[in-house]
Structure 1
């Protein structure tokens, strides 16, 4: 990461001064770090330097074959007769949504992500703003708005993107269509540890390991099971920094265990443990802003689960991969993969509680990706299906580390409302929670929920409650706010609070200093 005090190579230099809503450069070190992280992100998304669209084109090769045509059987999880609830409706998610006005042309759109101009136009229309009104609030000529929305002109600085997000009452990640990516803040995550994790992931597919004997004896499966359980617990408690520090050693141990037991009677169990460690690695890499590396771990998790001969573990690992595709902006690919995994699981005819939990978690993954695609009807139907699947589960249910239960479905209902830009509905969903149900959730889930709630309050311009939601999130799990996504949302709220809610801005600045 470049020094916050020096301009990034090739970046537009913002005017000096205080980082308020006028677009001035941030003053604090913490906000400056976020500023430069987003500068790189905006260079990719808004300046046209996008990743190759074929990067995720092979997600359907995970031994999750497309199902045969309907055989007339009833759906094992209470669907509507097909292999996946509302299959016909979701088939429409494979193409961009229809244009809502003449400036939302989709002729040149990629299959996964709408061009930046089309996203801006979509949110402008959803907010009920004409192009003239939008131009007035941006203090720009109408010709500039038309050129930007038709992608003839590109946004030149992060400050312009932030100003657009403020006018449209969305946060910057929602405007961009994907989560923040890039090197994590070195004050939060050590680059050397990330490199060790990367090396461990590469070693897991290294053909040379078959010819090199392990330097230490394989640990017992019982000992490794305890280590895997502890790793998942650390993730649920949002102890991302501590967990990342032990992952390189854990990855190496389970890899040695898997290699040494190949062909033996414990080979399948060793592969299943390896898949779980890859899954928790993928999950924590997503949290620290490295989804591309996390997708590599998720790929490894699917491969190990297949060798472990566990259909449910394969589906759960595919769900992790679908989640990472979504945070990378590959929403259509995410829908395809999660739907395919759920369909194959339903076709297997399994009706155990574990199968229902994994299937329900895939419904929630699909609903979240559908929300990012702007399909509220699909989201409502998928969440209704998830409600039916979750009915028999209690709050302590955690089959295959899905934590799928009625409260999780309600959490997803709030999160999808935020992704759809309906902050009022998200706030209303939060008010329906039983406080005891929220208190029973792991600390990481509570922190993530309040972070989503802060985004919802930002959408309805309630900055005081948005700030309080951020402070509550930090109270439950500090690492959730220290993550790149948490820091971006905090910066969005802080930027507006400095102008309209100075008292809350002071409290958020202190939060930034502690981060």
Structure 2
């Protein structure tokens, strides 16, 4: 079987760009020179595991997307950007309980894949996440999954008993399922987002780590909004907070951050219900849990938009310097919140400017989310007689048009 020639060529190209010989690259990869020669010549497996590509990308100091094969239909209207995730979840649902024929799990490699995946998500680089998530889910699918240590971890892990690896696998799987839920939400798939988040909570429970469980519960809170409604989401989040707060308080900084995140998710769900007192209390509780966290300021602006408090949202806008320290995806989401508030108060030209700035920062954040594409169309329908932004806005709408999706999303301008 042969690898896709393009992948081998890209590895060879970036290896040369980095000034590495095949021998040096082989040593850094922990492989033989023959292995490198075969990969670059296209003589390895037909569909290389993302874990191998993630290792190569790490060695070459590039994003894994630079190595993935081109997909001309990736942006096509009817292309399913979550096909591999759906397949991995179906496989997990139908797998027989007890034991697995999968090869041992290398937790070091899977953690690096997840680190790349969450970094790509934060940067709103969504196109590569289907393969990253599905690779980790496939690797951890077996009920009796075993692990093998990466070279860097072998000395530390050698003292652990075989049974102690199960919680570590559960942590990795929970993070992969949470990422699957997050990206499903991006593409407007509420049922898939809920399904993955629900399984993330189950895996987190097996990890016996309260911080991991709180993070998974936060992801499920967000997924419940689109699947069961904001009321159910608030009820679940408040129950999770009551159950987990004492243990989180004992975990120091990570525990406080997890508690803050859980309360922020509840606050946005309450804001969707139009419950101003509950939203205010939850935001203040998040601030108390983790004083000075920039995430509270960001969520406060989003809550103002959801509550129709547009002047307050505009007043809470971040300066360019404050925005610059955030991941690109979070910058774009804040700018889109600002654009919604500006459009709602009739400042259409400024709203268009904020939208275009968001696209320049993180194009996929604007183009991939159905809710944001619909927002672009809604601004187009507003009166345009007093500004000259029509051509720029129509060009943005055309760029969004190739990213079709289904799934219910709340309209922002009535």
Q: Could you tell me which runs of 5 or more consecutive residues in structure 1 were left unpaired when the two chains were aligned.
A: 1-184, 394-404
Residue 59 of structure 2: aligned partner: none
Shift of 1:213: 1.5
C-alpha contact (below 8 Å) 1:447/1:474 kept by paired residues = yes
Residue 272 of structure 1: aligned partner: 171
* 1-structure distance, mates of 2:116, 2:97: 27
Classify the secondary structure of the residue corresponding to 2:163. coil
Number of corresponding residues:
313
* Structure whose residues are more often helix by fraction: 2
Cα deviation digits, residues 385-418 of structure 1 (max 9, x gap): 2222222x6xxxxxxxxxxx2x211111110010
Classify the secondary structure of the residue corresponding to 1:289. coil
Counterpart check, 1:472 vs 2:357: yes
Q: CA RMSD in A?
A: 2.3
Shift of 1:190: 6.4
Counterpart check, 1:194 vs 2:82: yes
In structure 2, relative to structure 1, the CA distance for the partners of 1:513 and 1:193 (3 Å cut) is: closer
Residue 259 of structure 2: aligned partner: 359
Counterpart check, 1:410 vs 2:297: yes
* 2-structure distance, mates of 1:451, 1:334: 24
C-alpha contact (below 8 Å) 1:218/1:257 kept by paired residues = no
* 2-structure distance, mates of 1:466, 1:346: 39
Residue 225 of structure 1: aligned partner: 111
Cα deviation digits, residues 148-190 of structure 1 (max 9, x gap): xxxxxxxxxxxxxxxxxxxxxxxxxxxxxxxxxxxxx973676
C-alpha contact (below 8 Å) 1:367/1:378 kept by paired residues = yes
* 2-structure distance, mates of 1:245, 1:294: 16
Shift of 1:260: 2.9
Please show how residues 379-398 of structure 1 align to structure 2 within 5 Å: 379-391=279-291
Counterpart check, 1:203 vs 2:91: yes
* 1-structure distance, mates of 2:274, 2:175: 32
* 2-structure distance, mates of 1:347, 1:299: 23
Classify the secondary structure of the residue corresponding to 1:426. helix
C-alpha contact (below 8 Å) 1:319/1:337 kept by paired residues = no
Residue 420 of structure 1: aligned partner: 307
In structure 2, relative to structure 1, the CA distance for the partners of 1:329 and 1:475 (3 Å cut) is: farther
In structure 2, relative to structure 1, the CA distance for the partners of 1:193 and 1:410 (3 Å cut) is: closer
In structure 2, relative to structure 1, the CA distance for the partners of 1:464 and 1:329 (3 Å cut) is: farther
Structure ranking higher on relative contact order (CA contacts 8 Å, 6+ apart):
1
* 1-structure distance, mates of 2:117, 2:341: 31
TM-score (normalizing by structure 2): 0.71
Shift of 1:513: 2.3
Q: Could you tell me which runs of 5 or more consecutive residues in structure 2 were left unpaired when the two chains were aligned.
A: 1-72, 148-160, 401-414
Residue 295 of structure 1: aligned partner: 194
* 1-structure distance, mates of 2:90, 2:267: 32
Classify the secondary structure of the residue corresponding to 1:268. helix
- 2:120 paired residue among 234, 247, 250: 234
- 2:334 paired residue among 443, 449, 468: 449
* 2-structure distance, mates of 1:265, 1:329: 36
TM-score (normalizing by structure 1): 0.57
C-alpha contact (below 8 Å) 1:258/1:271 kept by paired residues = no
Counterpart check, 1:340 vs 2:239: yes
Divergent runs of 4+, >6 A: none
In structure 2, relative to structure 1, the CA distance for the partners of 1:385 and 1:188 (3 Å cut) is: farther
C-alpha contact (below 8 Å) 2:95/2:142 kept by paired residues = no
Classify the secondary structure of the residue corresponding to 2:172. helix
Please show how residues 426-437 of structure 1 align to structure 2 within 5 Å: 426-430=313-317, 433-437=318-322
